[in-house]
Amino acid sequence: MRVVQVTRFGGPEVMEPGEAPDPAAGPGQVVVEVEAAEINFVETQLRRGITPGPALPEPPYFPGGGVSGRVASLGAGVAAGWLDRRVVARTVGLRGGNAELAVAAVADLVPVPDGVGLPEAAALLHDGSTAVGLMDNAGVRPGEWVLVEAAAGGLGSLLVQLARAAGAQVVAAAGSAPKLAVARELGAEAVVDYSRPGWTKSIWEATGGRGADVVFDGAGGWVGR
């Protein structure tokens, strides 16, 4: 099968096409014929040799922590009904997704509903589950003000939409006019550029002096402080 491998730590140029043996599904696993492989920020950090927490992989390795596609083969103990189903899943060891075929545990398979594209499903795999978990735990209620930082990013853009769907009012914070335009299109009532001085005062003004009931801080660093 065709693969993409990281030959050394660095920028996108260290990713090279190559060939590898087709993988086989072990007990409780499936092989997915990959339609789309998601790329998230943490994976790009690991590729550069920087880790926010996970252990660094040892080059050469096949990146790709999540894929979408159709189930091509089944390992021992996997129900026959999974064969040829459209799914999205984390890959075993969060590696190997940048390939024509990838292995996933059957317990990690999520069926992709009709009407949802496989590329979209792959894009939602990590940020989507994180966004839903954050919303569930925050308990956002109708009428509350929610501040979403990094509001145009993968996670932030979903939080803006979920908060609006929960009936909250959203202040979206980001670092450029194009990003703020995206957040406004997603439904934010107010937008704030946190690269400009006095941006926290703008939040108070946008909320009528109330401030935010819930803050989703996806930026950290000096912005989070």
Q: What is the mean pLDDT of the chain?
A: 95
Structure token pair of residue 184: 């406004």
Does residue 96 lie in a domain region? yes
| pLDDT for the residue 158 | 97
| pLDDT for the residue 218 | 87
- 137 φ, ψ to 5°? -80, -30
pLDDT higher than 90, residue 220: no
Instruction: Say yes or no: 118 and 159 in one domain.
Output: no
Question: pLDDT exceeding 90 applies to what percent of the chain?
Answer: 92
Does residue 130 lie in a domain region? no
**What is the pLDDT averaged over residues 189-213?**
94
Structure token pair of residue 49: 């040799």
Give per-residue pLDDT as tens, 49-72. Answer: 999 888 899 999 999 999 999 999
Number of folded domains in the chain? 2
Domain that holds residue 109: 2-123
User: Using 50, 70 and 90 to split pLDDT, how confident is the model at 133?
Assistant: very high
| pLDDT for the residue 34 | 98
Residue 36: CATH number of its domain:
3.90.180.10
Give per-residue pLDDT as tens, 138-150. Answer: 999 999 999 999 9
Model confidence, pTM: 0.83
**Residue 174 near residue 129, CB atoms below 8 Å:** no
Instruction: Say yes or no: 220 and 167 in one domain.
Output: yes
Q: Which amino acid is at 219?
A: A
Does residue 179 lie in a domain region? yes
| pLDDT for the residue 165 | 97
**What is the pLDDT averaged over residues 23-36?**
98
Pairing of strands 101-105, 169-174: unpaired
Give per-residue pLDDT as tens, 107-125. Answer: 999 999 999 999 999 999 9
Instruction: Say yes or no: 44 and 113 in one domain.
Output: yes
Give per-residue pLDDT as tens, 148-192. Answer: 999 999 999 999 999 999 999 999 999 999 999 999 999 999 999
Does residue 128 lie in a domain region? no
Instruction: Say yes or no: 217 and 173 in one domain.
Output: yes
| pLDDT for the residue 31 | 98
| pLDDT for the residue 221 | 87
Instruction: Say yes or no: 170 and 92 in one domain.
Output: no
| pLDDT for the residue 52 | 86
Q: Which residues contact 57 (CB under 8 A, 6 or more apart)?
A: 6, 46, 63, 95
pLDDT higher than 90, residue 225: no
User: Using 50, 70 and 90 to split pLDDT, how confident is the model at 223?
Assistant: confident
Domain end call among 123, 155, 171 = 123
Q: Which residues contact 113 (CB under 8 A, 6 or more apart)?
A: none
Instruction: Say yes or no: 17 and 80 in one domain.
Output: yes
- Three-state SS string over the chain comes to CEEEEECCCCCHHHEEEEECCCCCCCCCEEEEEEEEECCCHHHHHHHCCCCCCCCCCCCCECCCCEEEEEEEEECCCCCHHHCCCEEEEECHHHCCCCECEEEEEHHHCEECCCCCCHHHHHHHHHHHHHHHHHHHHHCCCCCCEEEEECCCCHHHHHHHHHHHHCCCEEEEEECCHHHHHHHHHCCCCEEEECCCCCHHHHHHHHCCCCCCCEEECCCCHHHHC
**Residue 222 near residue 173, CB atoms below 8 Å:** no
Does residue 134 lie in a domain region? no
Does residue 133 lie in a domain region? no
Instruction: Say yes or no: 9 and 119 in one domain.
Output: yes
Instruction: Say yes or no: 116 and 205 in one domain.
Output: no
Residue 205: CATH number of its domain:
3.40.50.720
